[in-house]
Structure 1
Amino acid sequence: MTLAACTQPGGERIDEPYAAAPAGPAVYWSARQNKDEQQAPKAEPPPGDSLVDGKLVYDLPALVDLALHSHPDTRVSWQEAQTAAARLERNRSAWYPTLTAMAFGQNFKDSLMITSGAMIRNGYSSTSGLNLAWTLFDFGRREATIEQGAQRLTAANFSFNRKHQEIAYRVATGFFAYQAVLSRVTAAQQTLEAAVAGAASVQARFGKGLATRPELLLALQEQARAGYDLQDARGSVVQAQADLTASLGISPSHALQLLDLSKVPLPSRLAQSAEEIVDQALEQHPDLMARLAELRAREAEVKRAWAEFWPKLSMNGMLGNQYWGNVHVTPPSQNYTSSNLVYTAMLTVEWTLFDGFERSNALNEAKSRKEAAQAQLESLRLDIIRDIWKAYAETKTALQKRDFALALLKAAEESYAATSESYNHGLSTVIEMLTAQKDLARARYTEIDSRANLLRAAATLVYASGEQNRRAE
């Protein structure tokens, strides 16, 4: 029985309570990492605005790294994993005996009836000692509780990883949206410059009597419209910047230097089929792994509920000293003082035979919770498959739209150049020139949107598949 009490299930050492949890808020957790490399949690540098480097040109991996160190959500998720690790070690303590030091003193006076009357004692006494309590065998209660805690820690670790992926995805989409807005500002500026040049050309022709006043007014109208579109695009920059800095966990007042969107490499094709991505996701997706760990924790709850029907064997003992000082006894009238070593040792079998069906109902509750967890796991599995298929189709469509957007931009540029030259030679009308100018502006916006949508769709596919981005560590 002593050997059974001393043997605890496999797991982390009791003197390394955080070895199974992530090492830090910005460190991606892996179930296969070297346990010797794990360390106790260390204080992180001050997060937030102090981590921003005003001289650095941030690309997407650098932005993700900044967000992982500065965003409060990473620290919240990390602390939840640390809490689960501490709770697991707290559960492991049930395998060890409880040793309690105890001492008390008293001043007393009592009486005892004897044949000649009442014998009265008064004096003082003290007792001190050590109490030992040790559960030797409990039919699997402790194993089930520790298994439950271990699975909850695993779930917290996978949730921590998913939080990393979520923050990386928010940063990526915010970065693409912000850069797309900046590109739209550049495109609007180019459109305004073309509109100003076109209006000047019409004005010159109008001065020579080669253009009518309605044509001049149309050109000035397009110039005003291009100016309005430019200001509208500039106004959108503030909102996009606020969204990006919010995803980074820093203040919008920071003017970050960002890599231009045109320098971000675009995916040229889909390397895998949707079926292959789904198969990999079902093996590694953090949300799925966390839900599976929760199911196993619910199964451990059922085991614990079953174990409550059986007895529990415990050992209790006490070793101490009892002291009696200056005790006066009447009659006979005398004083005495004594000090004695006292001890007790016992084995206790505790078995609840009837409890008003509380254990039966607890078992039914645990079984229902396990079945609910199983259903939630299946539901999540279907959601993941659906999200991957949708993201895969969106990415495939974005790739095709990108090719057409490039072709459209090239054709619009050539058409506008030819129409402008033709107008300057009096071979085209101002309506044709302004139409070509509008088509070029739309083509520029379409090319920008296609680039941003492709990057966003690819990021969504990675996020939906639960793939770990090593560059974001």
Structure 2
Amino acid sequence: MAVPAAMMALTACMPQSIEKSDKPTLATPVDHAIYWQAVETEKGTQQTAISSRLPEDSLIDTKITYDLPALVDLALHANPETRISWEEAKAAAARLERNRSTWYPTLTAMAFGQYFKNSFPIPGSALITNGYSSFGSLDLAWTLFDFGRREALVDAGTQRLTAANFAFNRKHQEIAYRVASSFFAYQAVLAKVTAAQQTLNAAGASTDSVKAKLDKGLATRPDLLLAIQEQAKASYDLQDARGSVIQTQADLTTNLGISPSYSLQLINLSKLPLPAGLVQSVEKIVDQALEQRPDLMARLAELRAREAEVKKARAEFFPKISLKGMIGNQYWGSVHTNPPGNESYTASNLVNTTMLNVEWTLFDGFERTNAVHEAEARKEASKAQIDAFRLEIMRDIWKAYADTKTTLEKREFALALLKAAEESYEATQESYTHGFSTVIELLSAQKDLARARYTEIDSRASLLQSAATLVYASGGQSRGDFNTDSDAFGRSLRQ
């Protein structure tokens, strides 16, 4: 059996295991629409700026027919939200690199020059010195030991880079899900326009049939007025359905990240394959989601980052040992003294120092103690948030699973209802033609057929929507996790 197109599109966004990279800036994706797997890429391929032109100008092809995977791919390239998450991931990588820079020494070049004139009082007069001087030096500062401060800082940055990685993947899943949902809604509205047109055609045929009978004296004028009334109502329903097309199209293009002015050719809703049943149990889906759902993994990474912050706060109680050095040259030129003798001289002097510094804050008004308490409280809060989020994930999956099972059953009943309504309408129409049924019975069968058509359309769209919601709530597992078959229809949750 075929897997729903919604699942095929959403499952492409699976997060992979994250490897710690020595070069985090190379772990960011080279494009905001590429699923970031935190692996190294070649230098020179990384984009550093976003073009000012609209992305859809070169992405949209109005000559092809888009299926759901193609729409998702378009959204991942055109939707501004993907670029936002992409830049945030790059910023997290840059922050980690900044944290790692604390392991290296700093080298500072300094230079200055001046004209000076000094006067010192001496008996009977003053000693005046004037001239030019300059000084240039290289200053070195290197923290040798800080008892875990830098290590904790880098660990926190690494975990937040991992969190940004997972958030990036989840954003792709979110956009894919929103595109799928709006696509199903749009296609359902188009199908309802077709169904409304069929109902209007049937209402027109019924009106013509009543007119023909009225001309022969076999029908009454009230019968004709009832038929005309139903035809007018069918025209109203058709226009109402057409108005909904514009609204749902705007929702779809917004989720795609393109202008509503674009007119895309899309596949018909009836061509989308539907699942025949659920193979996996809800318990297994929940277990898989708790293992790999990207936003949950991001929260776990944030917890580890806060644990690293606790270590850094505790390390502040220990001293820091650093090495400092300076080498430079002091120069004096055209120095004149008066008195005695108005002599002039030039001098140069090499200056260098080396120091081993130990810095240890002994008392700070309990600032460090409270910093530890704050970091520990944030860590505990993060743990509680993860527990609450796990419950939320389980709730969403159970609801989506139940909705999918319900829509599977409703789909079968909707098909049976449509078949029965079609047969009933055909039989009533034939019976009315031969004078065995009244116009009220004919119009009633026509209404039932219109409702059955809408019900069938809603059942198809609801099934696709609930299946996509289940995949999204579970974190976008692999396609094999959601294989469907006809024997699994109506299967209980006891698997």
Whether the TM-score (by the shorter chain) exceeds 0.5 is yes
The alignment status of 1:185 with 2:193, answered yes or no, reads yes
394-403 or 19-28: bigger deviation:
19-28
Aligned counterpart for 2:309 among listed residues 301, 308, 332: 301
- Corresponding residue to 2:40 among 27, 35, 38: 35
In 2, Cα distance between equivalents of 1:11 and 1:388: 31
The equivalent residue for 2:183 is: 175
Matches within 5 A, 1:284-323: 284-323=292-331
**Structure 1: gaps spanning 5 or more residues:** 1-9
Structure-2 separation of matches of 1:131 and 1:211: 108
Aligned partner of 2:31 among 19, 24, 35: 24
Q: State the shift of 1:429 in Å.
A: 1.4
Instruction: Determine helix, strand or coil for the equivalent of 1:23.
Output: coil
Deviation of 1:153 after TM superposition, in Å, equals 1.0
- The equivalent residue for 2:246 is 238
Q: Of 132, 136, 141, which aligns to 2:140?
A: 132
2:459 is the counterpart of 1:454: no
Structure with greater contact order relative to length (CA < 8 Å, sep ≥ 6): 2
* Cα distance in 2 between the residues matched to 1:366 and 1:331: 67
Deviation of the 1:435 alpha carbon: 1.0
Tell me the percent identity. 71
Distance 2:41 2:246 in 1: 47
Give the one of 425, 428, 441 matched to 2:450.
441
Q: Residues 24 and 42 of structure 1 are in contact (CA less than 8 Å); yes or no, is this contact kept in structure 2?
A: no
Q: How many Å apart are 1:233 and its aligned residue?
A: 0.6
Q: Distance in 2 between matches of 1:202 and 1:44?
A: 66
Deviation at 1:106, TM superposition (A): 1.5
Match status 1:399 vs 2:408: yes
CA deviation map 1:116-151 (0-9, x unaligned):
986543222111111101011101111111111111
Question: Relative to 1, partners in 2 of residues 1:66 and 1:274: Cα closer, same or farther, differing over 3 Å?
Answer: same
Query: For 2:354 and 2:123, how far apart are their aligned partners in 1?
Result: 36
Partner Cα distance (1:99, 1:44) in 2: 34
Residue 250 of structure 1 pairs with residue 255 of structure 2: no
Which range is displaced more, 204-213 or 179-188? 204-213
**Is the Cα–Cα contact under 8 Å of residues 27 and 41 in structure 2 kept in the other structure?**
no
Q: For residues 353-372 of structure 1, what are the structure 2 equivalents within 5 Å?
A: 353-372=362-381
**Residue aligned with 2:473, SS:** helix
Task: Report the equivalent of 2:118.
Answer: 110
1:342 is the counterpart of 2:347: no
> What does 1:422-441 correspond to in 2, within 5 Å?
422-441=431-450
Distance 2:286 2:36 in 1: 22
Aligned length: 457
Partner of residue 218 from structure 1, selected from 199, 215, 226: 226
Residue 350 of structure 1, CA deviation: 0.4
Q: Distance in 2 between matches of 1:11 and 1:221?
A: 71
In 1, the alpha carbon distance for the partners of 2:21 and 2:292 equals 23
Q: Compute the displacement of 1:469 (Å).
A: 7.4
- Give the whole-Å Cα distance in 1 for the aligned partners of 2:46 and 2:233: 61
Give the distance between the partners of 1:184 and 1:248, measured in 2 at CA. 23
The answer for the alignment partner of 1:373 in structure 2 is 382
1:67–1:169: structure 2 CA closer, same or farther, 3 Å change rule? same
**Counterpart contact for 1:136–1:314, Cα < 8 Å:** yes
1:41-190 matches, within 5 Å, as 41=47, 46=53, 47-111=55-119, 119-190=127-198
1:139 is matched by which residue type in structure 2? F
SS at match of 2:276: coil
Q: Deviations over 1:164-204 (max 9, x none)?
A: 11111111011000000000000000011111111111111
Amino acid at match of 2:46: A
Aligned to 2:276: 268
Amino acid at match of 1:453: S
Q: Distance in 2 between matches of 1:365 and 1:148?
A: 16
CA contact (8 A) 1:185 1:230 kept: yes
Gaps of 5+ in 2: 1-18, 480-495
Letter in 2 for 1:73: E
What is the match of residue 412 of structure 1? 421
C-alpha contact (below 8 Å) 1:288/1:380 kept by paired residues? yes
Post-superposition offset of 1:30 = 2.1
Cα 1:37–1:341 change in 2 (3 A) is: closer
Normalising by structure 1, we get a TM-score of 0.93
Task: Give a deviation string over 1:237-291, Cα, whole Å, max 9, x none.
Answer: 1111111111111111111100000001111111211111111100111110111
Q: Secondary structure at the match of 1:359?
A: helix
**Distance in structure 1 (CA, Å) of the matches to 2:150 and 2:433:** 90
Find the aligned partners of 1:361 and 1:115 in 2 and give their Cα distance.
62
Kindly indicate whether the alpha-carbon contact (under 8 Å) linking 1:119 and 1:329 is maintained by their aligned counterparts in 2.
yes
1:346 partner SS: strand
Deviation at residue 223 of structure 1 after TM alignment: 1.0
Q: What is the distance in 1 between the residues matched to 2:46 and 2:477?
A: 24
1:333-391, CA deviations, whole angstroms, 9 ceiling, x for partnerless residues?
43321112211100000001111111111111111111111111111111111001101
- Provide the secondary structure at the position in 1 that maps to 2:301: helix
| TM-aligned CA deviation for residue 234 of structure 1 | 0.7
Q: Contact 2:36–2:165 (CA<8 Å) still a contact in 1?
A: yes
Deviation of 1:324 (Å)? 1.3
Q: State the Cα distance separating 1:113 from its structure 2 match.
A: 6.7
Q: What is the DSSP-based 3-state SS (H/G/I as helix, E as strand, rest coil) of the residue aligned with 1:347?
A: strand
Decide whether aligned partners of structure 1 residues 356 and 113 sit closer, same or farther in structure 2, where only a CA change above 3 A counts.
farther
Equivalent-residue separation in structure 1 for 2:105 and 2:477 (angstroms): 43
